Amino acid sequence: MPIGFIVDTEFLWGFQANVIGLSKTPPSFYYPPPTTFLGALAESIAKDYGIGEEQGKNLIPTLSQNLLAIGVKPLNCFPVKFEDINKIIAVKITGNIHYPNPKNLARSYDAPARGKTLLISLDDEAPRLRWFLIFKSKSITFNGKRVELDDRFFWKIHRIGSKESRVSVVNVISTESLELRKGTVMVNYSFPSAEGISPQDEVSGVWEFEIYVKPYSLNSYSQVIEYIMGKNTLPFLIPLRRSLLREPKYVVSVGGKFTSYSIGEEVVIGYG
């Protein structure tokens, strides 16, 4: 039976999650990509079960294969992309020469601009994003162990993106009482642009396209880095909030292999 999780994350300043492989100065996203959130969840599970970093990466495709839907929306913030200078230290061995090396500073350091996203609060509170995830089952099997997906793993998430992208989870709701519906629905979370999903009317807010690594049915961690080759990607329509008075909403026609999942007024689109 599908289970839904609604997770509110409070950001310290914003996040860093770059578009990989384009240049030394990669741009950022408006919001952390779905696979980035799955990575944060995988880290939390790995710590609890004593799974090492290398094996922990394989938790991401395991979670992906159990995922039916994932969406994000801003509660009180607006994203602003920017780039700033970052010092990078080379740690390597080339021709028996260890770097960083004071005799060759040019090959020991670099300072490219890196894309980041600042989340600007629209009120006096810290910026918050809300995530809505639907999983096929409450449990997954990893390395022969049965892992139960429950609230405690979401509460332990401490970053979404790079190590500087600090977050605090301020609320988690889980339920199996989900309303499934096809046809015309009012959506207030980011949703994929795919066959079977037909956007009809942009009711409120501003909606933009971003291309993410497809978060569903990943077979291996290596598929995450296929973004550089334009493989395994999926466009998403994402909501940008400019006012606290009206949240972004979109009327969408849903059919085929997709359906909408709702908990009260929270509506996300996924497989079903």
Within 10 A of 69 (CB to CB), how many other CB atoms are there?
26
Cα 180 to Cα 93: distance, rounded to the nearest angstrom: 56
pLDDT digits (tens, 9 = 90+) for 83-119: 777 667 777 677 777 877 777 777 766 667 677 899 9
Cα 64 to Cα 218: distance, rounded to the nearest angstrom: 6
To which residue do tokens 């497809």 refer?
Answer: 214
pLDDT band at 58 (very low <50, low <70, confident <90, very high): confident
Domain coverage including residue 147: 3-271
CA 106 to mean position of chain CA atoms: 35
Q: Would you list the DSSP string of 62-87?
A: HHHHTEEEEEEEESSEEEEEEEEE--
Q: What is the pLDDT of residue 37?
A: 94
Within 10 A of 125 (CB to CB), how many other CB atoms are there?
12
pLDDT digits (tens, 9 = 90+) for 208-246: 999 888 899 887 766 556 666 667 788 999 999 998 999
Cβ–Cβ under 8 Å, residues 138 and 146? no
Q: Specify the CATH number for the domain of residue 244.
A: 3.30.70.3120
Total number of domains constituting the chain: 1
| pLDDT over 60 at 22, yes or no | no
pLDDT band at 13 (very low <50, low <70, confident <90, very high): very high
- Partners of 98 in the β-ladder: 93
Mean pLDDT for all residues in the chain: 87
